[in-house]
């Protein structure tokens, strides 16, 4: 649709003289309003349609008398070469105030109940305000009138202490062209940049000049506006917008805290700071305050909030996008080589996250080429080499690492039953099915959080990061499988395939076991290895030899079922001991995404908004039948975390525990926007999109999964 308007008048803030009466804008209109005559140009405007109740009760002539021949919104618009012609109609039409920007569309925010009857605008983006009249093709009668001008007034209504008139402008309509196909015409547009989150009220008085100059008509319309950031799909962002987001991450990598706060203000956080904080809470020996527990979703909502504040300190119009990685699975699953397709997707291009390559397994092109890992041996948590990595990671590379491999294990891909939500496979990329099941097959908050920890998101981290330097581990596991087949333990082809998958899972589990064994106190890692120490000399230290029957049996009793499943009984003691000895001497090198240094990887940041968006849709589409933090089936068996250390009190996962990052939110009492440490339960409450007390600074662009619809997993709207 093309509208020939021209240079759109821009509303200037604080135009009112100090002594102006806000209750009588006409008294100072002559001194504060510039008449801007529009000339021809092209403006694409997408609009929010207001309800009839947002208009005034009728048209008034300049003498102040109600005009009975024209009822409320009873106008239809036709185009001419020189003006908008409006003719009286016999049916009631609909005027509306519209708000738009270069990224908005008609569906923006439509599923949020608290946006009903309001328009959504975004901070620091140029917003076009205009009028829309829905065309009616029938009932055109009698004489015509034309749109003359409009006076716009914008009031800020929250925060409470900032209530004021912030802008007034007069727009004069001159030339327009209507598109009859969609029946909508937009006119008298003005632009404004909203610089604060909050609530606003827009009022416009429209003047209609008829052929009879003594019968000029006016109409006043109102619209409430909510200013929030919009988190959009990473793939839907224009290249320039996506580039600005990625450039901001690069700036956070290159700029330390002291320098960054001097440049960008107190909300700035460096990536090094965020990685260190994540390590200090996720890589502690006695507790993981962020994962494997009930605080997983709310803690990561907080870390995303603090990261987003830092982004906005650098570029105030930015919001964190979400990466819907189920789309990657959908595309890859249609090919014969899904893994190769997965790693060739657009997100790994040089101008996005970059593609890991070469012996260092790090991006070598683009803005994220050779991202360095900070060295800080005095940090609370660090790797044996002094890097800001987990204590169990002996990766000696100084660069961001993506292995995309698990010691030669074949990644599980779309095998029957594996992609279901009940699977905890770390190598099954999340699918539409998994996210659909989480939305429509899980009824309680307790069950939802525990499921969210794993299959719906975890494999993205593990498969990007992966592990290398696996020594003889893969060879030993493959030999184990061959021996079992020879001994007839796999009696059928089906059983052999099943156990081949189990063996691949064994490789993956063995790789990740050192972390668990270290947390449980069965092994140690060197506290210090010089950077010139080979990785094979900086390995996990088992406290005893596996020939020590008591030590070996304790480990097998603790981890045997998870490692070997229902065929553990078919393995000899010697085979088990050999596998565990291999484990103790293997210098596993973890990719950063697969462990607690994951915020170093730029692809980390759009992952958790994907899970947050899914949670919002769950609460809109099929709300929880029980939203308590206790297990509704048995309160006394409630588990807030997975740690085996019973003395930690599940730090970070209780409803009353404060999150480790600040959350930006609107104070419910006065509408002020503040940043503070909130509890898990407070974030859960404030993020509820179904009630008017949703007080977070962002919404999501839509709740649509068209690729999932095509795959047979339709995310149905609430009835």
What is the average pLDDT across 491-519? Answer: 71
Which uninterrupted H or E stretch holds 707? helix 706-710
Distance (Å, rounded) from C-alpha 586 to C-alpha 579? Answer: 11
Residues 82 and 127 sit within 8 Å (Cβ to Cβ):
no
Using alpha carbons, select from 69, 50, 48, 52 the residue that is nearest to residue 60.
69
- How confident is the model at residue 586, as a pLDDT? 87
pLDDT tens-digit series, residues 107-158:
688 899 999 989 999 999 999 998 876 555 443 323 345 677 889 999 999 9
Q: Tell me, what DSSP letter sits at residue 348?
A: G
pLDDT at residue 513, rounded to an integer = 86
Q: Which of 693, 715, 712 lies closest to 702 in space, CA to CA?
A: 715
DSSP state, 565? Answer: G
How much is the pLDDT for 50?
Answer: 33
CB-based contact 382:356 (threshold 8 Å): no
- Mean pLDDT, the chain, rounded, equals 80
Please tell me the pTM assigned to this model.
0.84
Which of the four pLDDT bands, split at 50, 70 and 90, describes residue 562? Answer: confident
More confident residue, 496 or 577: 577
Q: Tokens at residue 678, please?
A: 């909130």
User: Which residues, at least 6 apart from 38, have a Cβ–Cβ distance to it below 8 Å?
Assistant: 5, 6, 7, 8, 9, 171, 172, 173, 174, 175
Banded pLDDT at 571 (limits 50, 70, 90): confident
676-690 per-position pLDDT tens digit: 999 999 999 999 999
Two tokens at 236? 């839907």
pLDDT tier at 37, thresholds 50, 70, 90:
very low
Q: Are 33 and 152 in contact (CB under 8 A)?
A: no
Residues 150-178, mean pLDDT to the nearest whole number:
78
327-341 residue pLDDT tens: 999 999 999 999 899
The answer for residues whose C-beta is within 8 angstroms of residue 344's C-beta and 6 or more apart is: none
Q: Which residues pair with 217 in a beta bridge?
A: 61, 208
Instruction: Please tell me whether residue 582 adopts helix, strand or coil conformation.
Output: helix
Closest CA to 173 of 124, 208, 201: 208
Task: Please count the other Cβ atoms lying within 10 Å of the Cβ belonging to residue 376.
Answer: 14
Strands (DSSP E) along 159-197, which ranges? 164-172, 184-193
The whole-angstrom separation of Cα 137 and Cα 139 is: 7
Q: Which residues pair with 118 in a beta bridge?
A: 224
Assess contact for 268 and 313: CB atoms under 8 A.
yes
Of these ranges, 61-75, 160-174, 186-200, 475-489, the one predicted with the greatest mean pLDDT is 186-200
Q: Is the pLDDT of residue 184 over 60?
A: no
Q: H/E element holding 89? A: strand 84-89
Determine the pLDDT at residue 24. 38
From the list 619, 686, 630, the residue with the least C-alpha distance to 654 is: 630
Contact (Cβ atoms closer than 8 angstroms) between residue 36 and residue 9: yes
Burial of 85 by CB count in 10 Å (0-12 exposed, 13-18 middle, 19+ buried)?
Answer: middle
| Torsion over CA: 629, 631, 635, 639 (sign) | negative
**Is residue 32 pLDDT above 50, yes or no?**
no
Question: Which among 6, 22, 2, 28 is positioned nearest to 172, based on CA atoms?
Answer: 6
In this predicted structure, the answer to whether residue 173 has a pLDDT above a threshold of 70 is no
- H/E segment holding residue 147: strand 140-158
Q: Tell me: the pLDDT tens digits for 284-302? A: 998 899 999 999 999 999 9
DSSP bridge pairs for 523: 542
Q: How far is CA 33 from CA 3, 166, 622, 710, in A?
A: 24, 13, 50, 53
User: What pLDDT shows up at residue 77?
Assistant: 32
Q: Residue 394: what pLDDT?
A: 95
The total number of residues written for the chain in this structure: 719
Interval 397-440: pLDDT, tens: 999 999 988 877 766 665 443 345 555 555 589 999 999 999 99
Percent of the chain whose pLDDT exceeds 70 = 74
**Which of 259-263, 307-311, 405-409 has the lowest average pLDDT?**
405-409
Phi-psi map region of 545: left, alpha, beta (phi>0 left; psi -120 to 50 alpha):
beta
Give the separation between CA 494 and CA 486, rounded to whole angstroms.
Answer: 15
Distance CA 39, CA 60 (A): 28
159 or 12: whose pLDDT is higher? 159
User: CB-based contacts of 265: which residues, under 8 Å, 6+ apart?
Assistant: 313
Q: Is the dihedral of CA 420, 424, 425, 426 positive or negative?
A: positive
- Written in H, E and C, the secondary structure of 456-515 is CCHHHHHHHHCEECCCCHHHHHHHHHHHHHHCCCCCCHHHHHHHHHHHHHHHHHHHHHHH
| Band of pLDDT at residue 476, cut at 50, 70 and 90 | confident
CB-CB contact of 8 with 98 (8 Å): no
CA 329, 330, 331, 335 torsion-angle sign: positive
How many Å is the Cα radius of gyration of the chain? 31
CA distances from 348 to 321, 335, 410, 476 (A): 16, 18, 21, 33
3-state secondary structure of 78: strand
Instruction: Give the tens place of pLDDT for each residue, 624-667.
Output: 999 999 988 888 788 999 875 666 789 999 999 999 999 999 99
Ranges 194-203, 418-427, 507-516: which has the least confidence: 418-427
Closest CA to 253 of 266, 242, 269: 269
Q: Tell me, what's the pLDDT at 421?
A: 52
Q: What is the dihedral of CA 409, 411, 415, 419, to 10 degrees?
A: 130
Q: Is residue 362 within 8 Å of 497, Cβ to Cβ? A: no
Q: What is the pLDDT of residues 53-80, one digit of tens each?
A: 343 434 444 333 333 322 222 222 333 3
Measure the CA–CA gap between 136 and 98, rounded to whole angstroms: 19
Residue with tokens 């590379």: 397
Cβ neighbors of 676 (< 8 A, separation 6 or more) are 662, 663
Q: What share of the chain is helix, strand, coil (3-state, %, to 5)?
A: 35, 20, 50
**Nearest-10 crossing angle of helices 607-621, 445-452:** 160
Chain Cα centroid distance, residue 606: 6
* Average pLDDT of span 13-39: 34
């Amino acid at each position: 649709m093309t509208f020939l308007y021209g240079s759109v008048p821009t509303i200037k803030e604080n135009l009112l003289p100090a002594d102006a009466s806000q209750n009588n804008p006409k008294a100072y209109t002559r001194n504060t309003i510039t008449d801007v005559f529009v000339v021809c140009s092209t403006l694409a405007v997408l609009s929010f349609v207001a309800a009839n109740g947002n208009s005034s009760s009728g048209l008034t002539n300049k003498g102040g008398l109600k005009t009975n021949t024209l009822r409320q919104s009873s106008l239809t618009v036709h185009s001419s070469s020189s003006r908008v012609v409006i003719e009286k109609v016999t049916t009631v039409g609909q005027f509306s105030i519209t708000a738009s920007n270069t990224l908005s569309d008609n569906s923006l925010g439509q599923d949020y109940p608290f946006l009903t009857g309001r328009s959504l605008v975004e901070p620091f983006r140029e917003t076009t305000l205009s009028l829309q009249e829905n065309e009616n093709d029938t009932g055109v009668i009698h004489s015509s009138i034309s749109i003359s001008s409009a006076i716009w007034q914008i009031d800020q209504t929250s925060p409470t202490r900032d209530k004021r008139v912030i802008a007034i402008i007069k727009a004069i309509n001159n030339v327009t062209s209507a598109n009859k196909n969609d029946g909508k015409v937009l006119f008298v547009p003005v632009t404004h940049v909203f610089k604060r989150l909050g609530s606003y009220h827009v009022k416009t008085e429209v003047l209609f000049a008829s052929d009879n100059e003594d019968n000029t008509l006016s109409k006043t319309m109102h619209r409430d506006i909510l200013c929030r950031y919009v988190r959009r799909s990473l793939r839907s962002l224009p290249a320039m917008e996506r580039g600005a987001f990625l450039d901001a991450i690069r700036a956070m990598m290159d700029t330390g805290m002291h320098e960054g706060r001097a440049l960008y203000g107190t909300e700035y956080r460096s990536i090094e700071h965020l990685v260190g904080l994540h390590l200090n809470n996720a890589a502690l020996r006695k507790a993981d305050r962020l994962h494997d527990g009930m605080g997983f979703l709310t803690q990561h909502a907080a870390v995303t909030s603090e990261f987003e504040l830092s982004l906005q300190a650098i570029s105030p119009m930015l919001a964190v996008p979400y990466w819907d990685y189920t789309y990657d699975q959908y595309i890859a699953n249609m090919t014969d080589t899904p893994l190769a397709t997965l790693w060739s997707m657009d997100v790994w291009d040089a101008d996005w996250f970059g593609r890991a390559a070469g012996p260092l397994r790090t991006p070598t092109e683009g803005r994220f080429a050779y991202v360095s890992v900070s060295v800080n041996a005095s940090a609370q948590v660090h790797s044996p080499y002094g890097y800001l990595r987990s204590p169990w990671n002996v990766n000696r590379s100084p660069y961001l690492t993506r292995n995309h491999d698990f010691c030669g294990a074949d990644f599980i891909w779309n095998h029957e039953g594996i992609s279901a939500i009940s699977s905890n496979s770390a190598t099954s990329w999340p699918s539409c099915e998994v996210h659909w099941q989480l939305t429509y097959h899980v009824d309680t908050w307790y069950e939802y959080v525990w499921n969210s920890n794993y299959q719906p998101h975890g494999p993205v981290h593990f498969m990007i990061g992966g592990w290398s330097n696996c020594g003889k581990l893969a060879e030993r596991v493959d030999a184990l499988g061959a021996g079992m087949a020879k001994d007839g333990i796999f009696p059928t082809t089906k059983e052999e395939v099943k156990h081949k998958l189990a063996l691949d899972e064994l490789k993956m589990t063995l790789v990740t076991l050192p972390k668990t064994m270290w947390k449980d106190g069965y092994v140690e890692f060197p506290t210090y290895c010089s950077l010139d120490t080979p990785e094979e000399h900086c390995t996990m230290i088992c406290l005893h030899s596996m020939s020590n029957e008591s030590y070996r049996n304790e480990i097998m009793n603790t981890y045997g079922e998870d490692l070997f499943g229902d065929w553990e009984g078919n393995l000899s003691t010697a085979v088990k001991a050999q596998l565990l000895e291999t484990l103790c001497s293997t210098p596993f090198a973890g990719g950063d995404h697969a462990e607690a240094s994951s915020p170093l990887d730029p692809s980390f940041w759009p992952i958790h908004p994907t899970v947050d968006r899914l949670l919002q849709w769950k609460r809109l589409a099929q709300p929880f039948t029980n939203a308590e933090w206790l297990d509704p089936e048995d309160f006394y068996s409630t588990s807030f975390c997975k740690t085996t250390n019973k003395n930690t009190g599940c730090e970070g996962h209780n409803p009353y525990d404060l999150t480790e990052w600040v959350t930006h939110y609107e104070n419910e009492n006065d509408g002020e926007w503040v940043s503070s440490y909130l509890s898990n339960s407070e974030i859960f409450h404030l993020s509820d999109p179904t009630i008017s007390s949703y007080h977070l600074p962002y919404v999501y662009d839509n709740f649509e999964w068209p690729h999932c619809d095509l795959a047979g997993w339709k995310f149905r709207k609430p009835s």
